[in-house]
Amino acid sequence: MPKGVYKRTEYHKKIMSDSHLGNIPWNKNKKGLQIAWNKNLTRKDPRIAKYAEKQKNIPKSEKTKNKISVTLKRKFKEGIIKHPMKGEKHKVTSKQLMKEKALKQINNNTRKGLFKKNRIVPFEIRKKTSMTKQGIIEKEWKGFINDTRILERKNKKYKLWRIAIFERDNYTCQFCGLRGVYLEAHHVKSWKNFSKLRYVVSNGVTLCKECHNLTKKGRGK
């Protein structure tokens, strides 16, 4: 049909009318809002899959992409849509592919975020990260510490030693007798100077945070 206003002649109207004779309209004798034909159908249905495949090949504008992104984020947040990988684990082959891709991006200097090759992290960010790992404030910060110490305090052996100290002392501070407060496991013989006694239960004692801070002046004894 040509563009613009097109006036049909009586002849064309008669032809169109005759072509519809015998055809029953899909909404005949139906009142009110009608249920969509694709309601409750998933992408596994061949009709939906065919339509979705066509939509993939249609280029989308940035405005449309942003609208889709905002809608999906909202649905994920409200729990309407669940992430396909939620509760699942990546296959070994998938992990290998992701690792190879990341290494390739790092080597080509196209990696985004923290793992960019030759990335110089500002001193203030490094200092803030160091304080967070040490669990201290800016006034208490005395410089960067060796990462091996942090790793050793996070291993399973240290955690089991800490729990054993708490259970032996009945989760009670051995200095002030407080119970039901935040507790810490203190090394009687210091961690730094007595490496062989680090995981010995008899070398530990349960203290509250305030009492533990009082022992910090006597470190190394």
Over residues 93-116, mean pLDDT = 76
The whole-angstrom separation of Cα 178 and Cα 209 is 11
Separation of alpha carbons 166 and 160, rounded Å: 10
C-alpha to C-alpha distance for 66 and 70, rounded to whole angstroms: 6
Confidence label for 126 from pLDDT (cuts 50, 70 and 90) = confident
Return left, alpha or beta for 178; rule: phi > 0 is left, psi -120 to 50 is alpha, else beta: beta
Q: Can you give the residue ranges of every domain in the chain?
A: 96-143, 150-218
Distance separating alpha carbons of residues 111 and 109, to the nearest angstrom: 6
Q: How far apart are CA 150 and CA 144, in angstroms?
A: 11
- Report which of residues 220 and 204 the model is more confident about: 204
Structure tokens belonging to residue 7: 């006036």
Residue-wise pLDDT tens digits, 30-39: 888 888 778 8
pLDDT in tens, 192-209: 888 888 899 999 999 998
| pLDDT of 175 | 92
Q: pTM, whole model, 2 decimals?
A: 0.37
The whole-angstrom separation of Cα 198 and Cα 155 is: 12
* Tokens 């470190």 belong to residue: 219
Looking at residue 59, what is its pLDDT?
85
